[in-house]
Amino acid sequence: MSLDDQSPHDGVLDDTLPVLDLDHPGASDPAYRARRLQIARAAQQFRRDPDGAVPEVEYVEEEHAVWREVAAVLRELHQERACEAYRLGRDRLALPTDHIPQLGEISRRLAATEGGFRLWPVEGLVLPRIFLTHLEQGVMHATQYIRHPSRPFFTPEPDIIHVLLGHAPMFADADFAAFSRLVGKGARLADDDHLEHMSRLYWFTVEFGLVEEAGGIKAFGAGLLGGVEDLERAYSDEAEVKPFVLEEVIETGYDYEHPQPTYFVIPSFAELRRQMERFMGTWMD
Ligand SMILES: [Fe+2]
């Protein structure tokens, strides 16, 4: 089934609005919780109206201030740590550092790049099979709220900083986008075992991947590029860094509730794409 036959979010989430865990930085802040619900309702509206535009969020000054603070620190860290494809993509998308841009605007710019991806608003975490399957069609689910101001350099869930400053620039790269679409195709065709393999391939690349470049080892995973604490950890003594071997990656488990201990380094995005094409050929025949 193609996505053209569906409402954009069929089966993505039920209609229950997400509730913050008790240990969430914003759990005891009623104004933050109300704001999250307001933004979540707008995303729900998009799901009910497939032809509607991505909802515009009128961000308030306190939210822009969180973006500014994080964007300034990330900009500094990215100079040394971000891979070239990320920096090129960030410039293509003209991501601002002084205010939160609209998701719909960045999605339009991204769709015009070689990667051709779009960003679809969603109110919270999406089931892995559905989230991954949409990648095949060049669709990334994206949240529009921003993290709680008490912990600007950490978020327990994907927020708009993670989406736009972590993910979006990479999807402008043709080889990276092609790899992501293959992960999506694999997820669509997978039984439960293969789905786990696809989730791990996604996790250790799109979220936490490292790449070898002339100047050393650079980050391309959104969990690293969009998260100050995570990026620092990947380059600390706590990190176990290994060469990317696809057969090993699919056998490596992960736990998204705890800091990431293991990272894999790909030789290039073209090689990552080639390895993925080869792997898909082995179990699809
Ligand atoms: Fe992510």
Q: Per residue, what are the HEC states of 148-196?
A: CCCCCCCCCCCCHHHHHHHHHHHHHCHHHHHHHHHHHHHHHHCCHHHHH
Q: Kindly provide the b/e burial profile for residues 143-164, where b requires at least 16 CB atoms within 10 angstroms of the residue's own CB.
A: bbbbbbeeebbebbebbbbbbb
Residue 221: predicted pLDDT: 97
Q: How do strand 139-142 and strand 118-121 relate by DSSP bridges?
A: parallel
Please state the rounded mean pLDDT for residues 249-270: 90
CA–centroid distance, 281 to ligand 1, in Å, is: 26
CA–centroid distance, 134 to ligand 1, in Å, is: 14
pLDDT tens for 273-284 read: 999 999 998 876
CA–centroid distance, 155 to ligand 1, in Å, is: 11
Residue 48: predicted pLDDT: 79
Percent of residues, the chain, with pLDDT higher than 70: 91
Residue 206: predicted pLDDT: 97
Q: What is the overall mean pLDDT for the chain? A: 89
Residue 24: predicted pLDDT: 78
Specify which residues 264 forms β-bridges with: 242
CA–centroid distance, 285 to ligand 1, in Å, is: 30
The two structure tokens encoding residue 26 = 């914003």
Residue 16: predicted pLDDT: 58
- CA-CA distances (angstroms) from residue 96 to 100, 116, 156, 239? 7, 21, 24, 31
Residue 219: predicted pLDDT: 98
Residue 17: predicted pLDDT: 60
Q: Is the pLDDT of residue 272 over 80?
A: yes
CA–centroid distance, 29 to ligand 1, in Å, is: 25
Q: Is the pLDDT of residue 6 over 50?
A: no
Work out the angle between the directed axes of helices 192-202 and 174-189 (0-180°, nearest 10): 160
pLDDT tens for 110-122 read: 999 999 999 999 9
CA–centroid distance, 174 to ligand 1, in Å, is: 19
The two structure tokens encoding residue 90 = 């960030």
CA–centroid distance, 159 to ligand 1, in Å, is: 9
Measured in degrees and rounded to the nearest 5, phi and psi for residue 60 equal -95, 170
pTM here? 0.91
First CA to last CA distance, the chain = 20
CA–centroid distance, 226 to ligand 1, in Å, is: 9
Residue of higher predicted confidence among 156 and 268:
268
Percent of residues, the chain, with pLDDT higher than 90: 70
CA–centroid distance, 278 to ligand 1, in Å, is: 25
Please state the rounded mean pLDDT for residues 91-112: 97
Q: How do strand 216-219 and strand 210-213 relate by DSSP bridges?
A: antiparallel
CA–centroid distance, 53 to ligand 1, in Å, is: 22
pLDDT tens for 14-60 read: 555 666 676 778 888 899 999 999 999 888 888 777 677 899 999 99
CA–centroid distance, 129 to ligand 1, in Å, is: 14
- Mean pLDDT is lowest, of 47-61, 153-167, 202-216, 227-241, for 47-61
CA–centroid distance, 147 to ligand 1, in Å, is: 14
Residue 14: predicted pLDDT: 52
Cβ atoms within 10 Å of 25's Cβ, excluding its own: 17
CA–centroid distance, 167 to ligand 1, in Å, is: 7
Residue 91: predicted pLDDT: 96
Residue 3: predicted pLDDT: 45
Q: Is the pLDDT of residue 261 over 60?
A: yes
Q: Is the pLDDT of residue 76 over 80?
A: yes
